[in-house]
Amino acid sequence: MKLGELILCDDKAMAEITVTGITCNSKEVKEGYVFVCINGTAIDGHKFAQNAVDNGAAVIIAERDLGIKNQIIVTNTRLAYSDMCAKWFSNPADSLKLIGVTGTNGKTSVTYMLKKILEAAGHKVGLIGTIQNMIGDEVIASKNTTPNAYELNSLFALMKAQGCTYVIMEVSSHALDQYRVYNLTFEEAVFTNLTQDHLDYHITMENYLEAKKKLFKMAKKAVINIDDEYGENVKEGLACEVLTYSTGNMSNYSAKGIKYRPASVEYELVYKGKIKHIKVNTGGKFTVYNSLAAAICALEEGIEEETVAKALEELEGVKGRAEVVPTGKDYTVIIDYAHTPDGLKNILKTFKECEKNRLIVLFGCGGDRDKTKRPIMGSIAARNADYVIVTSDNPRSENPDEIIKDILVGMKDTKTPYKVIPNRVEAIKFAVENAHKDDIIVLAGKGHETYQILNTGTIHLDEREVIADVLKEN
C-alpha cells in the first residue's frame, strides 16, 4: 500500500513510498514499515524513533520534529494510528454491525448474553472482550479488554472474512481515552454503571465518566442504565436515540416483579406496551441489569422476543462471573471477577441472601493500580461477609504486604473476624480446608484469569485447579 493511501502527505514523493506494515512498537519494525510514535502513560514512543529507522522504518509519524528523514508531524499520533490501521485493513468495521458495551461492571456478562441471543437468531457473531475474543465458537486469546487499533482492525478483518454480521465489544475507558476505537460507528452503545475504578489512570471520577461518554458520540442508539447515579449524566446532550432501562425508575424498558433465587432470577420485561417473562440461570440483582441490557439491544435489532427469552434461559454461566465450582462437598465455592468496590459489594450481597451458615470472602487488590479503593474494599468485605481472608490479587511491582496494609485500614472499625494470608494459593487452601457445612466461599478478584502477576514475573494460577488439588489432599 502507498503511504498516501494511509495518511495525507504534502510531499508527493513520500506519498508514493510503499508501506509494508504499521506498528507503534519499535521492536516490531521491519523494512518498509511505518512507525507511529505514541506518547504512552509510561513510555514515550518518540524516544525510539531512531531505533525504528535503524530497524528499517521507511516513515516516522510523530507529534514533534525529531530531525529524522521521512517524518510526518501530526497533532495526535493516537488518532493517526487508529485511522491508518483501519485503512490498512480496508476499513473492515464498515461491513459489520458493532454493538459496544461500557461501564465499570457487567460488560463481559452483557456481551456474552447478547452474543448468545444473536446467535440464536441465526447470526454469526464476533466478540471482543476481557476473557477472550471469539469468532462464532472459535476462541482467540485476549490481551486487553479492548485491543490496540492494529489488533482491533485485524480482528474486524478476520470476522468479516469469516462471515460475521455482528461484533459485540467491551469498550474500556482506556480504549476510549486513547482513541483505539476512533472513527468506528456503533449500532448501539450500552452504559451499565460507573463506580470507582482505574483512578490510577483517570485520577478523578469526572475524567473516568468523560472517557466513558465518548462511546455514545459514536453510536446510533444509546442504551443507558438510568438506575445508576451517572445514568442521567451520560444521557444528557446525546444526539443519538436514547433508550433507558431500570428496575424501578421511569424508563423505556424495565424489569418488574423480580424474583431472586440462589441460582436464578426471573422478572417481567415491560416495554412498548408489551410484557415478556424473562428467566436467567444466574443469581443476583446484577444479572437482572445485565440481561436487561442484552435483551434491549437484541430487541432493538429486531430479534423476536421469544428468541430473546429462550436464549437467556438457556445461557450457561460466564466463566469467572458468579461461577460455582463443583466440589462435591456440603459447602459452596464461588469464583468471581469482582475487583472493584461496587463489584465486591454486589457479589457479597447476592450470596448473603442465600447463606445458610457463613459467607466467607477471600480477596486482595491489584498492585500498581488505584490505591484509594483498597480500604474501601476492606470495609465492604468486613461489613458484608461473616469472615474475611485478605490475600494477594496481582501485586505486580508492589510489595503484597503493603497492599494488604492498605486494605486492613478499611477493616479496623469492624468486628468481623479475618485472617491475612499473602500467598493466594495458601489462602484458598485455608478457606477450603476450614469450610463448614453450608458455608459459601467467594473467591473474589481473579475470575477468569489463570495467572498471577508478581514482581518476579507472571505465574500460572488457576483457582479451579487449586481447589481441585486441595480436595484431592483432603
| Grid cell 518518540 in the structure block, residue | 46
* Confidence tier at 431 by pLDDT (50, 70, 90): very high
Q: Grid coordinates in use for 26?
A: 519499535
| SS3 call for 215 | helix
Cα separations in angstroms, 400 against 333, 368, 407: 24, 11, 11
Instruction: Give the type of residue at 285.
Output: K
φ and ψ at residue 390, rounded to 5 degrees = -95, 125
User: Average of pLDDT values for 203-222?
Assistant: 90
Burial classification of residue 460, based on how many CB atoms lie within 10 Å of its CB (0-12 exposed, 13-18 middle, 19 or more buried): exposed
Do 3-86 and 92-314 share a fold? Answer: no
Q: What was the pLDDT predicted at 198?
A: 67
Closest CA to 162 of 135, 129, 128, 122: 135
| Alpha carbon distance 336, 343 (integer Å) | 9
pLDDT digits (tens, 9 = 90+) for 187-200: 999 999 988 676 66
Architecture of domain 323-473: Alpha-Beta Complex (3.90)
Q: Mean pLDDT across the chain, nearest whole number?
A: 93
Instruction: Give the type of residue at 302.
Output: G
| Alpha carbon distance 374, 397 (integer Å) | 16
Q: Are 222 and 243 in contact (CB under 8 A)?
A: yes
pLDDT digits (tens, 9 = 90+) for 218-247: 999 999 999 999 999 999 999 999 999 999
| Grid cell 443519538 in the structure block, residue | 240
Kindly report which listed range (92-101, 136-145, 258-267, 290-299) carries the lowest average pLDDT score.
136-145
φ and ψ at residue 39, rounded to 5 degrees = -90, 95
pLDDT surpasses 90 at 356 = no
pLDDT surpasses 70 at 316 = yes
Q: What was the pLDDT predicted at 10?
A: 87
pLDDT digits (tens, 9 = 90+) for 287-308: 999 999 999 999 999 999 999 9
pLDDT surpasses 80 at 41 = no
Q: What was the pLDDT predicted at 355?
A: 73
| Alpha carbon distance 113, 104 (integer Å) | 17
Q: Where are the domains of the chain?
A: 3-86, 92-314, 323-473
Which of the listed CATH numbers 3.40.1390.10, 3.40.1160.10, 1.10.30.50, 3.40.50.11540 matches domain 3-86?
3.40.1390.10
The beta-carbon contacts of 75-81 under 8 Å, at least 24 apart in sequence, are 76/179, 77/24, 77/36, 77/37, 77/38, 77/39, 77/45, 78/38, 78/178, 78/179, 78/180, 78/182, 79/179, 79/182, 80/7, 80/36, 81/22, 81/24, 81/36, 81/38, 81/149, 81/150, 81/179
| Alpha carbon distance 132, 169 (integer Å) | 11
Q: What was the pLDDT predicted at 206?
A: 86
Q: Are 369 and 453 in contact (CB under 8 A)?
A: no
Closest CA to 290 of 221, 197, 225: 225
| Alpha carbon distance 101, 293 (integer Å) | 9
pLDDT surpasses 90 at 185 = yes
* Confidence tier at 103 by pLDDT (50, 70, 90): very high
| Alpha carbon distance 413, 103 (integer Å) | 31
pLDDT surpasses 70 at 64 = yes
pLDDT surpasses 80 at 468 = yes
Kindly report which listed range (91-105, 166-180, 386-400, 452-466) carries the lowest average pLDDT score.
166-180
CATH code: domain 92-314 is: 3.40.1190.10
pLDDT surpasses 80 at 205 = no
CA dihedral 109, 112, 114, 115 (to 10 degrees): 170
| Alpha carbon distance 16, 19 (integer Å) | 9
Closest CA to 100 of 186, 164, 178: 186
What number of residues does the chain have? 474
Closest CA to 390 of 380, 179, 293: 380
pLDDT surpasses 70 at 201 = no
pLDDT surpasses 70 at 256 = yes
Q: Which residues of 270-288 are buried (b: 16+ CB within 10 A; e: fewer)?
A: bbeeeeeebbbebbbbbbb
| Grid cell 473476624 in the structure block, residue | 417
φ and ψ at residue 415, rounded to 5 degrees = -105, 5
Q: What was the pLDDT predicted at 147?
A: 83
Residue 387 DSSP symbol: E
